[in-house]
Every structure is written in structure tokens, then in C-alpha cells.
Amino acid sequence: METLAPAAEGWWSRVWQRICFQTWLKAIGTSAFMFLFFRAYFALLENPQADPTVMPEIWLDHWVQFTPSAFPVYLSLWVYVSLAPALIGNLRALIWFGVWVGALCLTGLAIFWAWPTQTPVFDVDWALYPGLALIKGVDAAGNACPSLHVASAVFSACWLHRLLRQLRTPVWVLWLSALHCVAIAWSTMATLQHVALDVLGGAALGLLFSAASLAHIRDTTPRPLSPARL
């Protein structure tokens, strides 16, 4: 059963108390995790063990138009994925959360290694879009399916839904989080970083690991750490 925060306090006060728990550990841990992830990600991107399979487009791809202005939404993932760990209130849950995120990313990287994929070559003059040209130069067309961008967003959205409910935030905060996740998924297609099959694969991966991790980690409320609980 979920433990809900007392209703007496203002919801923002409860959120702030969670953010202030182990702030430096959360900040350093999140940054270190991202650094290690990108090292592995780009190593696979630059050294595929086979010729990448080009992911086909489906009907859904024709519904999403190329939208260069979606680039800031695409980049906002790195803020979004930092929110769930920031709202975890005890060390045991925080450590296990990191383990599950690591498992999700390792699974995605293993798929990239076993089955290299890439997005199609689109007829776009990227020089007209400097921001997108920059990321296209760094994050090439490989490591396409499943989209770990979408998997991470979906995983974070599911966790934020539980954490925000526990903290008794207003309903509009829950909706804002969900819409942000949907916007991030849309942005991966709108910037031509991914096609629809990549997005669907990433969403499935994110849902799988969020369901498993949420079933495993029940208690995220603040409490003294007991060695036996680790």
C-alpha cells in the first residue's frame, strides 16, 4: 500500500523536503550515471558489431511533421529524468531506483549491440537548423530502436505519477508530468531523431521496467536508514 504524505502541510513544502534529502548524492549520482551511460552509448554508436538495420517508417510517421522548434522539448528530457530521483525520500529506495534505471539502460544498450539499427536518411538540409545539426553531428543515426530517450521518459513518468500522488500534489501537476512525457516522445519524431517504431519500442521498454521497479520499491518516504533494510 502506498504511503501518502500528511495533508496538513502544503504540497510544495512536502516536495521541497524530498528535494532537500541527500541533495548532493542525488546530483552527483545522476550526473555520474549520465556520464557513464553516454560513454557506453557513444562507444556502441561508433563501433557497431554489424551493419545497422534501417528502421522503416509506418503510417504514424506521416502524422508527425518535421518541427525544428521541438528541439528544446527533446533536450528537456535531461531535466525530466532528474525529477523522480529528486523526489525519493529514503536512501534504500534511491539506491534501488538507480539499480533499476541502470538495468533499463543496460538492456537498451544490449539490444543496440545485438541488433544495431539506425533511422532513415531524411531529405533535410541540416545546415539550416544549427541546433539540430549539432546533435545530428554528435548523436548519429544509429542506436535507433528502442528509443532510450522515450524509454527513459516513460520510466520517469510512471515513477513521477506515484511520487506526486504520494506527495498529494494537485491533479494538474500529474497532468503536467504526463503531458511532458508525451511531448518528449513526440519531439523525438518531430526532430527526426527517431521513427515511430523506435518510439513504440522505447515506450514498451520503459513501461516494462517501470512496472517491475514500482512493484519492487514500495516505500519512498523519509525514514532513518536501517542496515537490515538494504
* DSSP-derived secondary structure for 37-87: HHHHHHHHHHS-SSPPEEPPP-GGGGTS---GGGHHHHHTHHHHHHHHHHT
Mean pLDDT of 108-133: 88
Count of Cβ atoms closer than 10 Å to residue 158 Cβ: 21
In the chain, beta strands by DSSP E: 53-54, 117-118
In this predicted structure, the answer to whether residue 224 has a pLDDT above a threshold of 70 is: no
Residues, the chain, total? Answer: 230
pLDDT digit string (tens) for 173-221? 999 999 999 999 999 999 999 999 999 999 999 999 999 999 999 888 8
Distance CA 115, CA 227 (A): 41
Which has the higher per-residue pLDDT, 54 or 134?
54
Cell of 199: 518510439
CB 108 within 8 A of CB 39: no
Task: State the pLDDT confidence band at 230, using cuts at 50, 70 and 90.
Answer: very low
Q: What global pTM score does this model have?
A: 0.89
